[in-house]
Amino acid sequence: MEKFNTVFVNAGLLMMPLSGAVVTTQQQEDIVNSMLLAQLSARAKYPQAQQQTEREEAVQGVLDNVFWVRLSQPRVVVSGAQTLTLADAVATESAGMFTSRVSEGFIELMAALKSLPSQEALTVWREQTASLIHTEHPASTDCPVPDEFNVCVRFAIIDAESIFHTLMFSFSTRTPLVADYLTQELLVESKGGLRVQGYTYELNEPRFATLRERIVEKLAGKRELFVMPWARSSTDGQPLVIPQDDR
């Protein structure tokens, strides 16, 4: 796989290296494969939109099992109904959860995401992060309630020495989501509110090495489907199509 120098989609994760961090190709591979395995395994076990809490626990369980060590207790913030844009929320929340160096990395990540995404990257990311829950509308209802979206989006910064940092936002909204909703103003539902969770992980490389081949085998054929650059290439002249969520 090519060396990261910009934002990549990894299923429902948007990730890039921290500026100035020295990351080997093998370290990059291990991070990408671990996160992809964790996400796909958790979604297969808990496929329903309403199972987000269980799915997140399953992600953490897989990472534990492949010898990613959490360097601190998870940093969690839960707040009620509010209006936000994810681009602004990342800057605010990362500043309170990480060092200034890492927070700046998340801000750089959000700036890089302003690049027009490829159709493939946008479709993969959108399908993995936003699930539509259809609302029953009685025939007599003059003003039907909008359908609800469950959103869970993760951002990650790859650091040196097999360390990476993740920031997750989970919430429900009745705001109709556009295709790339990162800069869209969203109204978070009071039910559940906004959950923000930050982790810093370090890989136990000797122990992970004993599983590396098995993990690569498990992901055979999946890397090409779920891991790709975010930005649209200069040769891609097709107009973007908004992914339709029919779940």
CATH number for the domain that contains residue 52: 3.40.198
Domains contained in the chain, number = 1
d(CA 72, CA 76): 12
109 located within any domain: yes
Ranges of H-type helices in 98-226: 100-112, 119-129, 205-209, 212-218, 223-226
* Identity of the residue numbered 88: D
Per the CB < 8 A criterion, the answer to whether 91 and 84 are in contact is no
Q: Percentage of the chain surpassing pLDDT 70? A: 87
Please check whether residue 242 lies inside any domain of the structure.
Answer: no
User: What one-letter code names the amino acid at 164?
Assistant: F
For residue 235, the model assigns a pLDDT of 54
Measured CA to CA, the distance from residue 27 to residue 23 in angstroms comes to 6
Selected residue with higher pLDDT from 188 and 137: 188
What is the domain extent for residue 60?
8-229
pLDDT at 191: 84
The stretch 168-181 carries a mean pLDDT of 94
> Does some domain include residue 244?
no
Q: State the CB neighbour count (10 A cutoff) for residue 128.
A: 20
* Counts of helices then strands in the chain (DSSP H, E): 8, 11
**Residue 24 domain-assigned?**
yes
The answer as to whether 3 is a domain residue is no
Within-domain flag for 236:
no
Q: What does DSSP assign to residue 148? A: E
Residue 110 has pLDDT above 70, yes or no: yes
**Confidence tier at 145 by pLDDT (50, 70, 90):** low
Is 206 contained in some domain?
yes
User: How much is the pLDDT for 233?
Assistant: 75
Is pLDDT of 139 > 60?
no
Decide if 179 contacts 191 (C-beta within 8 A): no
Give the predicted TM-score (pTM) of the model: 0.88
Q: Is the pLDDT of residue 243 over 60?
A: no
Within a domain: 246: no
* Mean pLDDT (whole number) for 224-246: 69
